[in-house]
Amino acid sequence: MSGLRNGMPPLLEVKDLSVSFGEFAAVKNVSFALRPGEILGIVGESGSGKSVTCRAVMRLLAAAARAEGSVTLEGRDLLALGEDELCAIRGRDIGMIFQNPASHLDPLRRIGEQVAAPMIRHLGITRREGLKRAVALLDDVGIREPEKRARSYPHEFSGGMKQRAMIAAAIGCRPKLLIADEPTTALDVTVQARILHLLRDLNRRTGLAMILISHDLGVVADICSQVVVMRNGEVVEQGPIDDVINRPRHPYTKLLIESQPGRKTYGTADGPDGGKPLLSVEKLSVSFSTGGGLLGGLGGGGAFKALDGIDLEIGAGETVGIVGESGSGKSTLARSIIRLNTPGGGAIRLDGQDIGALSGDALTAFRRRVQMVFQNPYDSLNPRLTIGEAVAEPIWRHGLADRKTAQKEAEALLEMVELPASLYDRKPRQLSGGQCQRVGLARALSLKPQLLIADEITSALDVTTQAQILELLVRLQRERSLTLIYISHDLSVVSSLCQRVYVFKAGRVVEQGVAQQVLSRPQHPYTQALVGSLARLPAHTGTISQPV
Amino acid sequence: MADTPAPAIAAPSVRTVTPVMLVALSILGGWLVLALAAPVIAPYDPDAIDILNMLSPPSAAHWFGTDQVGRDVFSRVLFASRVDLLLCVAGVLPPLVIGTTIGLLSGYFGGLVDTVFMRIYDLTVAFPFFVLVLAIVGVLGPGLLNFILALTLVGWVSYARLVRAQVLTIRESEYIQAARCLGYPPAAILAHHVLPNAIGPVIAYAVSDAVLVMLAGASFGFLGMGAQPPLAEWGVMIADGQAFVQQAWWICLFPGLAAISLGLGFALLGDGLGQLQRRGVTA
């Protein structure tokens, strides 16, 4: 069933593994096997039990957890080993890398020492020899000038470099198995592509077997040969990656594949051609002073340019995407448009009117026309208010209705974003992330805005939830003929949703144009890198055009 | 179909009362009842002088004995609880209200307002609390009202600092940005969105502050800078009795025990509220 070839004993065999925390069963009867030299992907959404499974393999579970079943590494049952024997296996036979490399590196020790530490401990080599090998390992994982870099501290490394250093530390003792728990989730897409490439390369060169845990089917499809799909602590499907993706049997796997960004295009309404733009941004610059602290006023020098001469135009009814990696200035643009920060230069005009000059009633009127949905589903709602109150508040505060009528309207709005009326009295923490994001949408739409800015609104959500929110967004955009600015780091989401895109890099627009063209024929080298690093599922029957 | 169902975790109720709080609440509740019912319970007029029965030890007639002019110590302890409880409220509320308001404004708007208030804060914490209150009362002259005024002048800074720290993190949260983006007036944002999320630790602090105020009240009464004799106040009673502590220990002991028990009540309540606060944060 999982396509085990005969004659090759599995390196790791997990049989009927169950993990429970008190009453709650996090993992239920999970079985899979990994042969030497293979890369196995475990895919699932948050809470599916994929990380708990791997922590059980490493015996890294909290004391309250109970694990049953068997985990056999080359004939030894890991669940039955004592702590001493485990310590000899962890780091030596099994290496592990984590999602957030920054929190797994000691900020006070040099990178070289940290890479050398497991080797010195497990292989009994000298410190000098360990450091020498650490430099070679850093070279192996693609860190330039490894000798110099080995003497650096973690804060001098970028996120991608930290993850490379973590990989170097994990493979130092030549483990038989590397467990990578969401190794690229915290990284930008272009960096993600390079890390995945490195992992695949390591696997080819040294035959290192890996388990790659990810919420992103695209990432798994990119480098794994076998895949296990988990949901609610159970394995719903497993097999060779091509079989699972091209012929998924379980409905959940099908849903997961359908939900991949870029699998379908959403037919957003076309904006009218020509005419005056609704929103135009001219030579906008925003800078933040970097000093800040005690000497900030004295130095006066260092200012970080978050936006550096941005020009863009958005027509009424258009859906425009803004893409860029973290720090590219895309959120700064959004905050400037809604006047949460003051531009240093340039102008933003709505219907030809400079919004920087608005005040009093004109500003209030502007607030009603331009609204924003924020990134973090929980943080964007006041934890003390019920979601009904949160949605009703803008209506009565703007004097559009009295409080009682506002409450009625809020109920209608919640219904519009497909939330059941029974949730009206819930507080945000009693809702799921996707539901909170729907509340955020309802609140933003309560003032009936013309222009809606969505800043990374799905980046904190699971991929299937993301697909639902996008569908909702498209429906609302159509029904209310909204002008939509969709900001994301994910080019595939943007291109499936938007008619036009602007690509941001380091505070500048490096490319703009019709979404499909930018995706298929990127001009700027940076856009090409972005497009090239999309971890997409293998070629499929083309895009599924969505009937609306 | 909506996305993933709402988490089925019944969020642990933040309102749960812990055993510690139960003890604290019964102590404080007990004192409140005693204070309110003092005229009914007290067997004697607290200020009635009875020279014939002066310095008599605890007995069936005088449960806590009598003092140097024959006043019933039990009745005086009861009546003093009214003064001391009132002192706790009057010594905590004004600094709380003033400090919270200043902390909100200072944290939310920042800039010059913030700089000025924070320098005043630095100046105030440079002196020990008691010394500063003592100095101010010294200037204004002794008396309960001046004592409360001095407490307010010194006490607001702690609240302001606490609230300001809360506001600084709350200010950056997306729900405040959303509120600004939705065009709510700043006063509404402060009152409706910032304050309710900042007030929790302030309440917990206020309760432990009440202990400090009560001890300060008793100490200042003892020093003759707070409540003035013949008004029954625990600190004043202890001060009055200290000359006779060798032959009549009961004059000092009973008001002392009363002060300790009330202080314990507030301290435990502060502990309990702090626990709830932390649990609420992790929940």
| pLDDT at residue B30, rounded to an integer | 94
Residues of A in contact with B177 (CB under 8 A): 335, 340, 374, 380
Cβ atoms of residues B172 and A359 within 8 Å: no
| pLDDT for residue B273 is more than 80 | yes
Cβ atoms of residues B75 and B258 within 8 Å: no
Q: Number of residue pairs across A and B with CB atoms under 8 Å?
A: 90
**Distance from B173 to chain A by nearest Cα, in Å?**
6
| pLDDT for residue A295 is more than 70 | no
Among A378, A382, A436, which would you mutate to test the B interface (most chain B Cβ atoms within 10 Å of its Cβ)? A382
Nearest-CA residue of chain A relative to B174? A380
Residue A72 is encoded by which pair of tokens?
């056999």
Cβ atoms of residues A515 and A234 within 8 Å: no
Cβ atoms of residues B206 and B277 within 8 Å: no
Nearest-CA residue of chain A relative to B11? A430
Residue A451 is encoded by which pair of tokens?
């222009």
How many angstroms separate the CA atoms of A65 and A67, rounded?
7
How many angstroms separate the CA atoms of A385 and A380, rounded?
12
| pLDDT for residue A272 is more than 70 | no
Is any Cβ of chain B less than 8 angstroms from the Cβ of A340? yes
pLDDT tens for each residue of A314-332: 998 889 999 988 878 888 9
Nearest-CA residue of chain B relative to A334? B181
Nearest-CA residue of chain B relative to A339? B181
A522: number of Cβ within 10 Å: 20
Confidence of residue A47 (pLDDT cuts 50, 70, 90): confident
What is the domain-level CATH number for residue B277?
Answer: 1.10.3720.10
CB contact under 8 A, B3 and A435: yes
| pLDDT at residue B61, rounded to an integer | 86
Of the candidates A542, A543, A535, the residue with the CA atom closest to the CA atom of residue A199: A535
Sign of the torsion angle spanned by Cα atoms A53, A58, A64, A69: positive
**Distance from B253 to chain A by nearest Cα, in Å?**
47
Among B1, B3, B282, which would you mutate to test the A interface (most chain A Cβ atoms within 10 Å of its Cβ)? B3
Q: What does DSSP assign to residue B103?
A: H
How many angstroms separate the CA atoms of B207 and B210, rounded?
5
Q: Helix or strand or coil: residue A5?
A: coil
Nearest-CA residue of chain A relative to B182? A367
| pLDDT for residue A492 is more than 80 | yes
Q: In percent, how much of chain B has pLDDT > 70?
A: 92
- DSSP states of A195-262: HHHHHHHHHHHH--EEEEEES-HHHHHHH-SEEEEEETTEEEEEEEHHHHHHS--SHHHHHHHHTSTT
Is any Cβ of chain B less than 8 angstroms from the Cβ of A395? no
Question: Identity (one letter) of the amino acid at A352?
Answer: G
CB contact under 8 A, A440 and B2: no
Of the candidates B181, B156, B48, the residue with the CA atom closest to the CA atom of residue B105: B156
Q: Which domains does chain A have, with CATH numbers?
A: 1-93+176-258 (3.40.50.300), 97-174 (no CATH), 264-288+301-534 (3.40.50.300)
How many angstroms separate the CA atoms of A222 and A197, rounded?
9
Nearest-CA residue of chain B relative to A447? B182
Q: In percent, how much of chain A has pLDDT > 70?
A: 91
Is any Cβ of chain B less than 8 angstroms from the Cβ of A380? yes
Pick the range with the lowest mean pLDDT from A285-294, A347-356, A425-434, B122-131: A285-294
Domain count, chain B: 1
- The answer to the question of residue B213 being in a domain is yes
pLDDT tens for each residue of B211-260: 888 888 888 888 888 888 778 888 888 888 888 888 889 989 999 999 89
How many angstroms separate the CA atoms of A216 and A260, rounded?
8
pLDDT tens for each residue of A354-402: 988 888 899 999 999 999 999 888 899 999 899 999 999 999 999 989 9
| pLDDT for residue A26 is more than 90 | no
CA triple A448-B181-B201, angle to 5 deg: 130
How many angstroms separate the CA atoms of A548 and A267, rounded?
7
Question: Identity (one letter) of the amino acid at A98?
Answer: F
| pLDDT at residue A293, rounded to an integer | 46
Cβ atoms of residues A78 and A72 within 8 Å: yes
Give me the domain span that covers residue B249. 19-42+64-282
- The answer to the question of residue B4 being in a domain is no
- The answer to the question of residue B224 being in a domain is yes
How many angstroms separate the CA atoms of A94 and B191, rounded?
54
Pick the range with the lowest mean pLDDT from A396-410, A444-458, A532-546, B53-67: A532-546
The ipTM estimated for the assembled molecules is: 0.75
CA triple A478-A484-A490, angle to 5 deg: 110
pLDDT tens for each residue of B32-70: 999 999 888 888 888 888 888 888 888 888 889 888 888
CB contact under 8 A, A420 and B180: no
Pairing of strands A209-214, A177-181: parallel
- The answer to the question of residue B166 being in a domain is yes
pLDDT tens for each residue of B102-127: 999 999 998 898 999 889 988 888 88
- Mean local confidence (pLDDT), A397-424: 91
Cβ atoms of residues B237 and B77 within 8 Å: yes
- Mean local confidence (pLDDT), A237-251: 90
Confidence of residue B16 (pLDDT cuts 50, 70, 90): low
Confidence of residue A270 (pLDDT cuts 50, 70, 90): low
- Determine the distance from the C-alpha atom of residue A529 to the mean position of all C-alpha atoms in its chain, rounded to a whole number: 18
How many angstroms separate the CA atoms of B116 and B110, rounded?
10
Q: Helix or strand or coil: residue B11?
A: coil
**Distance from A462 to chain B by nearest Cα, in Å?**
9
Considering only the beta carbons, identify the residue of B11, B179, B196 that sits closest to A384. B196
Is any Cβ of chain B less than 8 angstroms from the Cβ of A364? yes
Nearest-CA residue of chain B relative to A399? B184
Q: What does DSSP assign to residue A325?
A: -
Q: Helix or strand or coil: residue A508?
A: strand
Strand partners, A15: A70
CA triple A174-A179-A181, angle to 5 deg: 145
Q: What residue has token string 């002794």?
A: B142
Cβ atoms of residues A385 and A397 within 8 Å: no
CB contact under 8 A, B11 and A379: no
How many angstroms separate the CA atoms of A446 and A368, rounded?
9
| pLDDT at residue A1, rounded to an integer | 42
How many angstroms separate the CA atoms of A398 and A367, rounded?
10
Cβ atoms of residues A177 and A34 within 8 Å: yes
Residue B108 is encoded by which pair of tokens?
């939310």
| pLDDT at residue A14, rounded to an integer | 92
Residues in B lying within 8 Å of A, measured between beta carbons: 2-7, 11, 173-175, 177-185, 188, 192-193, 196-197, 283
Q: In percent, how much of chain B has pLDDT > 90?
A: 41
Nearest-CA residue of chain B relative to A24? B9
Is any Cβ of chain B less than 8 angstroms from the Cβ of A367? yes
Is any Cβ of chain B less than 8 angstroms from the Cβ of A459? no
| pLDDT for residue A262 is more than 80 | no
Cβ atoms of residues B124 and B157 within 8 Å: yes
Q: Tell me the pLDDT of chain B averaged across its residues.
A: 86
A515 to A272, A312, A531: CA distances (angstroms): 17, 15, 12
Cβ atoms of residues A496 and A458 within 8 Å: no
Cβ atoms of residues A186 and A99 within 8 Å: yes
How many angstroms separate the CA atoms of A151 and A520, rounded?
42
- The answer to the question of residue B2 being in a domain is no
Is any Cβ of chain B less than 8 angstroms from the Cβ of A44? no
**Distance from B25 to chain A by nearest Cα, in Å?**
26
CB contact under 8 A, B4 and A379: no
Pairing of strands A12-21, A65-73: antiparallel
Cβ atoms of residues A289 and A303 within 8 Å: yes
CB contact under 8 A, B174 and A432: no
Cβ atoms of residues A530 and A460 within 8 Å: no
Pick the range with the lowest mean pLDDT from A47-51, A184-188, A197-201, B165-169: A184-188
Is any Cβ of chain B less than 8 angstroms from the Cβ of A398? yes
Residue A427 is encoded by which pair of tokens?
């507080």
Considering only the beta carbons, identify the residue of B5, B11, B174 that sits closest to A374. B174
- Mean local confidence (pLDDT), A148-152: 89
**Distance from B144 to chain A by nearest Cα, in Å?**
39
Query: Is the backbone of residue A37 left (phi > 0), alpha (psi -120 to 50) or beta?
Result: left
| pLDDT at residue B74, rounded to an integer | 92
Strand partners, A43: A214, A229
Is any Cβ of chain B less than 8 angstroms from the Cβ of A362? no
**Distance from B211 to chain A by nearest Cα, in Å?**
29
| pLDDT at residue A81, rounded to an integer | 84
Nearest-CA residue of chain B relative to A422? B6
**Distance from B224 to chain A by nearest Cα, in Å?**
45
Ranges of beta strands (E only) in B110-223 are none
- Determine the distance from the C-alpha atom of residue B158 to the mean position of all C-alpha atoms in its chain, rounded to a whole number: 13
- Mean local confidence (pLDDT), A211-232: 90
CB contact under 8 A, A379 and B183: no
**Distance from A78 to chain B by nearest Cα, in Å?**
32
Q: A8: number of CA atoms within 13 Å, CB side?
A: 11
Considering only the beta carbons, identify the residue of B5, B181, B183 that sits closest to A432. B5
- Mean local confidence (pLDDT), A106-119: 91
Residues of A in contact with B181 (CB under 8 A): 338, 340, 367, 371-372
- Mean local confidence (pLDDT), A342-363: 88
- The answer to the question of residue B272 being in a domain is yes
Q: In percent, how much of chain A has pLDDT > 90?
A: 33
- The answer to the question of residue B59 being in a domain is no
Among B182, B197, B282, which would you mutate to test the A interface (most chain A Cβ atoms within 10 Å of its Cβ)? B182
| pLDDT at residue A540, rounded to an integer | 46
Pick the range with the lowest mean pLDDT from A92-106, A241-255, A381-395, A480-494: A92-106
At a CB cut-off of 8 Å and minimum separation 6, what does B148 contact?
B87, B90, B91, B94
Residues of A in contact with B182 (CB under 8 A): 367, 371, 393-394, 397, 443-444, 447
Of the candidates A113, A484, A108, the residue with the CA atom closest to the CA atom of residue A322: A484
- The answer to the question of residue B171 being in a domain is yes
